[in-house]
Structure 1
Amino acid sequence: MKQQILVSGIGGQGVLFLTKVIAQMAVNHGLPVLTSEDHGMAQRGGTVLSTLKVGDFAAPLIRTGQADVALILWDDNLAAHCSLLKEGGALFVNSDKAGEGDRIDGSKIAREMGNSVLSNLILLGRAVRKKALFCSEEECVVAIRQLAPAKFLEQNIQAFTTGLNL
């Protein structure tokens, strides 16, 4: 099993937490995983790009046209990072605008849940529902339980479950 995944957003959207959850699922599966993060100005709302390679890979960076799955948490990042997605790859976009890919307004749903950062797990739930990732629903919940702070645990699981039901 090999899968290349990119996660793109801006600082404060939970890109790095989402990356950790996906990586933890790979570890729980007994699969090798490589990650790379680019978040230089993220604390100021700048772009955050994270890549994951699950399976037997030599390096963590994803080349142009090689990503199997893209999770775009900030619609404006799509133009900058869509070239990494391979033809026929699975594209999930957090957006209230029409356009390419599987789009859901995760930010609106997350705000209604009381925490705008939850859009990351809502989008993850959608991707898992569509069977775009290597993992099952149950494996995601296990990884979230392993990584989420206790005070946010139930809210994180609720966000993921919400994405599953969209």
Structure 2
Amino acid sequence: MKQQIIVSGIGGQGVLFLTRVIAQVAVNRGIPVLTSETHGMAQRGGTVLSTIKVGDFASPLIRTGQADLGLLLWEANLPVHQSLLKTDGKLLINADKDGEGTRIDAAKIARGLGNAVLLNLVLLGLAVQQQVVFCGVEDCETAIKQLAPAKFVEQNLAAFHMGLDHSRS
């Protein structure tokens, strides 16, 4: 089992939490995992890129044309990080209009739950539903319960399930 994943967004969108959830799933399943972040987090709103390598890898960085999956929490990062994807790589994007990749207005769904930051877990739910990520529903639910502060667990799980329940288009 090997998978290379990029998570791209801006500070404040939950890129790092989403990265931690995916990495925790790998740890829970006994699969080697490496992560890395490149970000301007000193200033909220800066671009954030996380890379996740699940399986037997020597380096956490993902080279151009090597990512199997891209989870973009901010559509404007598409031109910046798309080159990291393989030609046949899957791309899931938080976007409110049609375009490249599989798109879902995760921000709107998250705002409906009362917290726009939850768009990260909506996108993860969609990735699981589309079977483009190495893990399943129970894996993600367990990791969310392990990592989310107790007072936010139910809201986090609700966001994840909203992505799971999103109809395929």
TM-score of the pair, normalised by structure 1 = 0.98
Aligned match of 1:31: 31
CA deviation after TM superposition for structure 1 residue 43, in Å: 3.1
Instruction: Name the SS of the counterpart of 1:68 in structure 2.
Output: strand
Structure 2: runs of 5+ lacking an equivalent? none
Aligned match of 1:70: 70
Quick one: which amino acid aligns to residue 11 of structure 2?
G
The answer to whether structure 1 residue 143 and structure 2 residue 143 are counterparts is yes
Identity of aligned residues (%): 70
Aligned match of 1:88: 88
Structure 1: runs of 5+ lacking an equivalent? none
CA contact (8 A) 1:42 1:48 kept: no
CA contact (8 A) 2:8 2:48 kept: yes
Instruction: Name the SS of the counterpart of 1:34 in structure 2.
Output: strand
CA distance in 2, matches of 1:100, 1:4: 20
Quick one: which amino acid aligns to residue 62 of structure 1?
I
Instruction: Name the SS of the counterpart of 1:97 in structure 2.
Output: coil
CA contact (8 A) 1:10 1:42 kept: no
CA distance in 1, matches of 2:98, 2:163: 18
Alignment of 1:21-60 (within 5 A): 21-41=21-41, 43-60=43-60
Aligned residues: 166
Question: Residue 41 and residue 150 in structure 1: after superposition, are their counterparts in 2 closer, same or farther (change >3 A)?
Answer: closer
CA distance in 2, matches of 1:128, 1:109: 17
CA deviation after TM superposition for structure 1 residue 40, in Å: 2.2
CA distance in 2, matches of 1:43, 1:120: 19
CA distance in 2, matches of 1:19, 1:84: 17
Instruction: Name the SS of the counterpart of 2:99 in structure 1.
Output: coil
